[in-house]
Amino acid sequence: MMQRLASEQIDVAMPGRGQALGSLHPVMKTWERVEKIFASMGFQVADGPEIEDDWTNFTALNSPENHPARSMQDTFYVEDGLLLRTHTSPMQVRYARDHVKRYENQLVMPDIKIIAPGRTYRVDSDATHSPMFHQVEGLWIGKNTNFADLKAVYQGFLEAFFETTALKLRFRPSYFPFTEPSAEIDIAFDKGNLAGRWLEISGAGQVHPIVLKNFGLDPETYIGFAFGSGLERLTMLKYVNVGEATPLSIVCGAPNVAPNMKVPCARIGAEIPLDSGDVLHIKLGKLRGVESHGMLCSAKELGMIQIQDGLLQLDDDAPVGMDIRQYLQLDDTILEIKLTPNRADCLSVRGIAREVSALTGSSLVVHKTPAVAVSLEKRLPVHITEPNLCGRFSGRIIEGVNAKAKTPSWMIQRLERAGQRSVSALVDISNYVMLEIGQPNHIFDLDKLTGDLCVRYAKAQEEVVLLNGKTVSLQEDVGVIADQIGVQSLAGIMGGMHSSTSDQTCNVYVESAFWWPSSIQGRCKRLGLTTDAAHRFERGVDPQNTVYALEYLSQLIIEICGGIASIIDDQIINIPTTNPVNMRLSRAQKITGIDFTEKDVSEIFDKLGFSWEKNGDVFKVTAPSCRFDIEREEDLIEEVLRIYGYDNLPVRPPIAPQQFLPVPDQVRSVHDLRHLLMTIGYHETVHYSFVPKSWEQQFSENTKPIQLLNPISENMAVM
CB 344 within 8 A of CB 630: no
534 lies in the same domain as 624: no
Of the candidates 113, 102, 94, 98, the one whose C-alpha atom is nearest the C-alpha of residue 47 is: 94
CB 138 within 8 A of CB 226: yes
- Mean pLDDT by runs of 10 across the 719 residues of the chain is 69 65 82 90 88 86 74 76 84 89 87 90 65 88 89 90 87 88 88 77 91 91 91 77 56 64 83 74 67 78 69 83 80 79 88 90 85 91 94 94 93 87 92 94 94 93 90 91 93 92 94 93 86 90 93 94 94 91 92 91 91 92 89 91 87 73 74 82 80 80 79 77
- Quote the radius of gyration of the chain (alpha carbons, Å): 32
At 127 the pLDDT is 47
Q: Which CATH number covers residue 77? A: 3.30.930.10
Q: Which CATH number covers residue 628? A: 3.30.56.10
* Domain boundary pick from 239, 266, 297: 239
465 lies in the same domain as 587: no
539 lies in the same domain as 631: no
At 666 the pLDDT is 75
pTM (2 decimals)? Answer: 0.77
CB 187 within 8 A of CB 169: yes
d(CA 580, CA 459): 39
Residue 117 maps to a domain: yes
Q: Which CATH number covers residue 404? A: 3.50.40.10
Residue 206 maps to a domain: yes
Cβ–Cβ contacts within 10 Å for residue 390, how many? 25
DSSP 3-state of 707 = strand
At 543 the pLDDT is 92
95 lies in the same domain as 174: yes
- Alpha carbon separation from 4 to 10, 226, 557, 593, 645 (Å, rounded): 12, 73, 109, 83, 85
C-alpha dihedral, 601 to 607 to 612 to 615, nearest 10°: 20
At 18 the pLDDT is 62
Beta bridge partners of 482: 454, 487
Segments forming the whole domain that contains residue 442: 374-572
Residue 295 maps to a domain: no
* Dihedral angle sign, alpha carbons of residues 570, 576, 580, 583: negative
Residue 658 maps to a domain: no
* Domain boundary pick from 215, 239, 263: 239
490 lies in the same domain as 589: no
522 lies in the same domain as 541: yes
* Domain boundary pick from 602, 631, 648: 648
DSSP 3-state of 241 = coil
Residue 229 maps to a domain: yes
611 lies in the same domain as 497: no
Residue 136 maps to a domain: yes
566 lies in the same domain as 586: no
Residue 103 maps to a domain: yes
592 lies in the same domain as 547: no
532 lies in the same domain as 603: no
Neighbour-count burial for 582-599, b at 16+ CB within 10 Å, e otherwise: ebbbebbebbbbbebeee
Number of domains in the chain: 3
Beta bridge partners of 444: 509
* Non-local CB neighbours of 607 within 8 Å, separated by 6+ positions: 357, 358, 359, 361, 643
459 lies in the same domain as 595: no
CB 148 within 8 A of CB 593: yes
At 241 the pLDDT is 45
Of the candidates 382, 391, 570, the one whose C-alpha atom is nearest the C-alpha of residue 481 is: 382
For 565, list phi and psi in degrees, rounded to 5.
Answer: -110, 155
The per-residue DSSP string of 409-447 comes to HHHHHHHHHTT-----HHHHHHHHHHHHHS---EEEEGG
597 lies in the same domain as 565: no
**Burial (CB count <10 Å: 0-12, 13-18, 19+), residue 504:** exposed
**Strand 112-121 to 199-207 pairing:** unpaired
Give kind and range of the element (H or E) at residue 83. Answer: strand 82-84
Residue 52 maps to a domain: yes
